[in-house]
């Protein structure tokens, strides 16, 4: 299947700093990528839909100024957590769908565990 | 908005036995896709099986099969001959044909006892 690579897998940052997480589709072009947040022992909550060449679409309740998403190319989307605070500590997962076919599953990155201290 | 409900936070099965995980969903759409994903301790999401709503035949992938009841909006996962490696969180997911994003259920933690 298609491969989605997410980097870094773990990051610890100080409160008030910004952290960038990258999501790359390695063997296909992804016009759309998705960013999820997962709290411990909970499900994946969609944060935003990242569209190549245009502004991301954020889910209700997600602060777009805090979670900056950039999808500058067909293989790369980035999520920047700005002015991070301890409550932003979580597991962040990206996914992408292959552009061909219908009903294809989303391929997921391996996730990023963010810890803000 | 579509919602996905997994009513079993935890399930346990003996190795080599069969277990069924439940999932129900709410939608007004007639065509959509349903998925079961597995999330092992590594946290990597792995597709287990998928079902297109327009197909009446239940999907099967080796030891994994689904019971898709469209009228009841039910989509259960059956794992046969359970193996220790099946232990993981299992998420049921819904995707509209009109939208790209997926909606996930709360998950079921499956434990496999040797």
Q: Side-chain half-sphere of A42: how many Cα atoms within 13 Å? A: 11
Distance from CA of B76 to the nearest CA of A (A): 18
CA distances from B15 to A2, A47, B21, B36 (A): 31, 37, 16, 20
pLDDT at position B1 over 90: no
If DSSP codes are grouped into helix, strand and coil, which group holds residue B69? Answer: strand
Q: What is the pLDDT of residue A105?
A: 66
- Closest Cα to residue B36, out of B51, B49, B54, B46? B49
Q: Which residue in the set B45, B97, B101 is minimally distant from A49, CB to CB?
A: B101
% helix, strand, coil for chain A, step of 5 = 5, 50, 45
Least trusted range by pLDDT, from A42-46, B96-100, B104-108: B96-100
pLDDT digits (tens, 9 = 90+) for B28-71: 998 899 999 999 998 999 999 999 999 889 999 999 999 999 99
pLDDT in tens, A75-98: 999 999 999 999 999 999 999 876
Name residues whose C-beta falls within 8 Å of residue B99's C-beta, 6 or more positions apart in sequence.
Answer: none
Give the C-alpha separation, B41 to B59, whole Å: 26
Neighbours of B8 (CB within 10 A): 17
* Chain B closest-CA separation from residue A44 CA (Å): 6
Q: CA-CA distance, A43 to B107, in Å (whole number)? A: 6
Instruction: Find the closest chain A residue to B88 by CA distance.
Output: A41
C-beta of residue B30 within 8 angstroms of C-beta of residue B94:
no
Within 8 A of B97 by CB-CB distance, chain A residues are: 102-103
Least confident range of B3-17, B42-56, B74-88:
B42-56
């Amino acid at each position: 299947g298609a491969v989605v690579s997410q980097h870094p897998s773990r990051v610890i940052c100080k409160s008030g700093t910004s952290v960038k997480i990258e999501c790359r589709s390695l063997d296909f072009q992804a016009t759309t990528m998705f960013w999820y947040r997962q709290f411990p022992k909970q499900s994946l909550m969609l944060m935003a839909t990242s569209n190549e060449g245009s502004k991301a679409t954020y889910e209700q309740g997600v602060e777009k100024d805090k979670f900056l998403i950039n999808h500058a190319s067909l293989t790369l989307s980035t999520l920047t957590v700005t002015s991070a605070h301890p409550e932003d500590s979580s597991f962040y997962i990206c996914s992408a769908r292959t552009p061909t076919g219908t009903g294809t599953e989303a391929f997921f990155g391996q996730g990023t565990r963010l810890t803000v201290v | 908005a579509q919602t996905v409900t997994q009513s079993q936070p935890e399930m346990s099965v003996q190795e080599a036995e069969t277990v069924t995980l439940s999932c129900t969903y709410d939608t007004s759409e007639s065509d959509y896709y349903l998925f079961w994903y597995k999330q092992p301790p590594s946290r990597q999401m792995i597709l287990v099986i998928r079902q297109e709503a327009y197909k009446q035949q239940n999907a099967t992938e080796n030891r994994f099969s689904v019971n898709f009841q469209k009228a009841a909006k039910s989509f259960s996962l059956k794992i046969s001959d359970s193996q220790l490696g099946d232990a993981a969180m299992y998420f049921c997911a819904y995707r509209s044909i009109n939208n790209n994003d997926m909606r996930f259920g709360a998950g079921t933690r499956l434990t496999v006892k040797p």
